[in-house]
Amino acid sequence: MTDTPLDVPASAGRARRIAFTVVAVLAAFLTSVLTLGSLGLIVAGETPDGVPLTADARLALLVHVPWLALGWGAAFVASIWRAARRPAAYQQALAMGVGLYLGGLVLARENDPVFYVGFGVVLLLLGLLHPARRAVWRPGPGGVSPVLVPLALLLAAPCTLYAVDMAQRQQEVGPEGPFFLGIAATALAVPLLGLVAGLRAPGWRLPLWVTGGTLFLLAGSGVAADPAAPAAPPAGWAAAGLLAAAAFVALGEWEAQRMARLRSPIPQAADPAPTSFAG
């Protein structure tokens, strides 16, 4: 199914479009480098210093990969082509930024702002150069989803509690311990991404699936771990998270199909062919 684009100006200026694409390509490339670095640590089973990964450190990396690849990387890649027709991709990047700042600067009170400034500059540049700047600040033509938005708000409570717990663990172990802050940022991103999907702007199925995928990996990454990671959600919460992830995507797809049927023209019954009588 293809989302119906908003009515946006055909051109925002060739120079601005090129600049926007360049920034999106660079952001996608840098995100892929960070993702591959995290994957390399998981495969190697040790830190860059050669220290074997603990169960919590492995869990943090497993959760950090979808945060990078699905949350940020997918948004940047989707912005490279026909961004004006997919404003939901930039909305997704904004949601990731909000989750990053809430987790790092508000909950964990990080002292090093360089990492946060980098993502903030990228978001600012993409917002200023976006070929459909007005479209990224409003819902889609079908309005706000009456199903996905309440479900995203329902997810906010357990995700926020889990994020607070991870931020506290990060403060206890310090920067040399497992990257609990990555888990916190991922947990905060889930309901924010769900709200973006609920706006149903053109391209909204990207944040829909990213919400489900991120929640699925956040809840399930520690299920099969041996030994079990102390920072992993309890079994009951993990099962609830897996079910919620599947339900969120299923309900979103149901809404997408329903909207497609409502937009489809109703076929008119053909007039009966005239009958001629020979006489």
The whole-angstrom separation of Cα 179 and Cα 166 is: 9
DSSP code at position 108? S
- What is the DSSP secondary-structure string of 132-184? TTTGGGS--TT-S-TTHHHHHHHHHHHHHHHHHHHHHHHHHH-TTS--HHHHH
Q: How far is CA 223 from the centre of its chain?
A: 22
Residue with tokens 């099969």: 224
For residue 129 the two structure tokens come to 């150069």
Strand-pair partners of 52: 46
**pTM (2 d.p.):** 0.85
The whole-angstrom separation of Cα 17 and Cα 80 is: 10
The whole-angstrom separation of Cα 201 and Cα 248 is: 17
Task: Please tell me the chain's helix, strand, coil percentages from 3-state DSSP, rounded to the nearest 5.
Answer: 70, 0, 30
Nearest-CA neighbor of 172 among 115, 222, 223, 230?
A: 230
- Per-residue pLDDT, 53: 87
Strand ranges inside 17-72, DSSP E: none
The whole-angstrom separation of Cα 180 and Cα 256 is: 35
Q: Are 202 and 5 in contact (CB under 8 A)?
A: yes
- Per-residue pLDDT, 264: 67
Residue with tokens 């026909």: 82
Q: Are 208 and 249 in contact (CB under 8 A)?
A: yes
The whole-angstrom separation of Cα 28 and Cα 26 is: 5
Per-residue pLDDT 10s for the chain (279 aa) are 445 454 445 454 788 889 999 999 999 999 999 999 989 988 888 888 888 888 898 999 999 898 999 999 999 999 998 888 999 999 999 999 999 988 877 777 766 667 778 888 999 999 999 998 888 989 998 899 999 999 999 999 999 999 999 989 988 888 777 888 889 999 999 999 999 999 999 999 999 999 999 999 999 888 766 677 888 998 899 999 999 999 999 999 999 999 888 876 655 544 555 544 343
Nearest-CA neighbor of 170 among 183, 156, 161, 158?
A: 183
- Per-residue pLDDT, 265: 62
Nearest-CA neighbor of 165 among 176, 154, 173, 175?
A: 173
- Per-residue pLDDT, 150: 96
For residue 171 the two structure tokens come to 């403060």
